[in-house]
Amino acid sequence: MSAPISQKHPKGLYVLFFAEMWERFSYYGMRAILLLFLIDNVRGGMGLNAAEGAAIYGLYTASVYLLTLPGGWMADNVLGQKKAIWYGGIIIMLGHIILAVPGGTGIFFLGLVTVALGTGLLKPNISSIVGELYPEGGARRDAAFSIFYMGINLGSVLGITIVGYLGQKINWHIGFGAAAIGMLLGLVVFKLGSAKYLRGFGDVPPAKISTPESAQQTKSNTTLGYGLIVLLIGFLSVLQWTGTIDMTTATGLAQGAGVIIVSVSSFYFLFILVAGGLTPVEKKRVFVLIVFFLAAALFWSGFEQAGSSLQIFAERHTQRSIGTWEMPSSWFQNFNGSFILIFAPVMASLWIFLSSKGLNPSTPVKFALALILLGIGFFVMEMAAKEAVTGSLVSPLFLTFTYLFHTIGELCLSPVGLSSYTKLAPKRYVSQLMGIWFVAASLGNLIAGLFAGNFDENNVQQMPALFNQVTLFSIGFGLLLLVFWKPVKNWMGGIQ
Ligand code: GLN
């Protein structure tokens, strides 16, 4: 992501920019009020306790990213990317329309599942068409992804502002309805724009133009996939049967999802290392990808608390009044997107400047920095929580600084991680490993939800210790990575 972003880009990029902007408007807008709606028992919310609400929040956000695996597969094998985006968008919109109906628990969960399925279909495929617009790769592709990342965050800021306001100040379901309208606008942009500016991209599923060897590969992968599903069902049944996990509760279900995510990713890495036919150099690179996977999962597990524990903290313990007006607590989630819009160009210039001096930090160092910044952000929260446990509302500056540290961390990890996954992955595994990158986000989101389950109203005294745990974990892992950055870099085998 270190290229200047002023070169001329194909108009198709802007079609994808605005389509993704509206999709993220609906995703982040709805997510901003989701947990508040789940635990509200005054304004027509679901009235769940914090543990159940946070488990559902974690399950939902984790599913969104986990479903990018079948979503990518559907596009590659059945639909082609363009149709996957189109149908995905329609399904997302329907999901938000269902959520907009004040119809009780069953209807609500149907809406959530629908949005998650649609997002799994849309999200990975819209990013891969961005890549396809630049077959030569290189700096222009990096620049295109920077522009696209701005679209993501512009959508998130608009969504949180509008959906958050309507949901918190007027009515939850009107908020969800606004998310549906956002997705509708995204569909209109995509339909009109793609017919004109994306002709010839993402029309044919790549598997339909595959070679006999790749068809054979897909067949054996599918068999393996089915085998893994059977094994997992067996394993989960044993866990349920022995009472280790109770999957009839929301928390148990989220723990079950954690078992699935950890098993799928460990199995996948093991599979390509043992049976993937890799050269020794490729094997070393896959080890690096495992290190990056762990670091990313840990990073997202703290970072994605934006919508869980940090949201609860904003709502219950943060001073939000300006005169007689009270800011909706969900608006704090806007600090991330706004800081991205301000700092993404600054960070891009910083990397270019450091490169020109031969000082550009290597990818493992950037990952380590991201984890340390995350930890510093949570240290600020620990300070805030120490004040909050005395019963007073704390200054909004605490959350502001936490989000500032977290956003700079995100800029060290997210775009860099995305591109290093495409570069380090053995050629024939690129799209699968792209999926695994999103699985790290899925695992992080799940942990972010489960962790926030401890933030119950009856458990307020625990808050400083809880934030302290995240600080120690992330700074610890970050320092470990900083100590071992040289061997990790060497294992990258010359890839920057
Ligand atoms: N904020 C980015 C997006 O919504 C990245 C999220 C992630 O990979 N966890 O696309």
Tens-place pLDDT, residues 22-70: 999 999 999 999 999 999 999 999 999 988 999 999 999 999 999 988 8
Report the complex ipTM: 0.96
Expressed in angstroms and rounded, the spacing between residue 1 Cα and the centre of ligand 1 is: 15
Confidence band of 132 (pLDDT split at 50, 70, 90): confident
Higher confidence at residue 489 or residue 176? 176
Domain boundaries, the chain: 8-200+222-491
Expressed in angstroms and rounded, the spacing between residue 449 Cα and the centre of ligand 1 is: 16
Predicted local distance difference test score (pLDDT) of residue 202: 85
Token digits for 33?
Answer: 């009020």
What tens digit of pLDDT does each residue of 305-318 get? 998 899 999 999 99
Q: In which residue are the tokens 């401890």 written?
A: 454
Atom of ligand 1 nearest to the CA of 24: 4
Atom of ligand 1 nearest to the CA of 303: 9
Q: How far apart are CA 121 and CA 64, in angstroms?
A: 9
Atom of ligand 1 nearest to the CA of 444: 9
CB 299 within 8 A of CB 370: yes
Predicted local distance difference test score (pLDDT) of residue 405: 97
Atom of ligand 1 nearest to the CA of 437: 8
Higher confidence at residue 5 or residue 138? 138
**Spatial CB neighbours of 254, under 8 Å, sequence gap ≥ 6:** 55, 56, 58, 59, 62, 446, 449, 450
What tens digit of pLDDT does each residue of 111-131 get? 999 999 999 999 988 988 888
CB 475 within 8 A of CB 409: no
* Beta strands in 233-315, from DSSP E residues, in sequence order: none
Share of the chain above pLDDT 90, in %: 59
> Which residue's CA lies nearest to atom 6 of ligand 1?
441
Expressed in angstroms and rounded, the spacing between residue 353 Cα and the centre of ligand 1 is: 26
Of 31-40, 144-153, 213-222, where does mean pLDDT reach its minimum?
A: 213-222
Other C-beta atoms lying within 10 Å of the C-beta of residue 266: 12
Nearest to 384 by CA among 394, 373, 370: 394
> Which residue's CA lies nearest to atom 2 of ligand 1?
152
Expressed in angstroms and rounded, the spacing between residue 26 Cα and the centre of ligand 1 is: 14
Q: Which CATH number fits domain 8-200+222-491: 1.10.1140.10, 3.50.50.60, 1.20.1250.20, 1.10.10.10?
A: 1.20.1250.20
Expressed in angstroms and rounded, the spacing between residue 460 Cα and the centre of ligand 1 is: 30
Q: How far apart are CA 371 and CA 368, in angstroms?
A: 5
Phi and psi angles of residue 126, each rounded to the nearest 5 degrees, phi first: -70, -40
Mean confidence (pLDDT) of the chain:
89
Predicted local distance difference test score (pLDDT) of residue 208: 66
Expressed in angstroms and rounded, the spacing between residue 119 Cα and the centre of ligand 1 is: 12
Q: How far apart are CA 48 and CA 452, in angstroms?
A: 14
Confidence band of 2 (pLDDT split at 50, 70, 90): very low
What tens digit of pLDDT does each residue of 224-245 get? 778 888 888 998 899 889 888 8
> Which residue's CA lies nearest to atom 9 of ligand 1?
441
Buried b (16+ CB within 10 A) or exposed e, 227-260: ebeeebeeebeebeeeeebebeebbbbbbbbbbb
* Global pTM value: 0.88
300 lines ligand 1 (CB under 6 A): yes
Test site for ligand 1: of 63, 152, 298, most ligand atoms within 8 A of the Cβ: 152
152 lines ligand 1 (CB under 6 A): yes
End-to-end CA distance of the chain: 12
Expressed in angstroms and rounded, the spacing between residue 29 Cα and the centre of ligand 1 is: 14
Confidence band of 209 (pLDDT split at 50, 70, 90): low
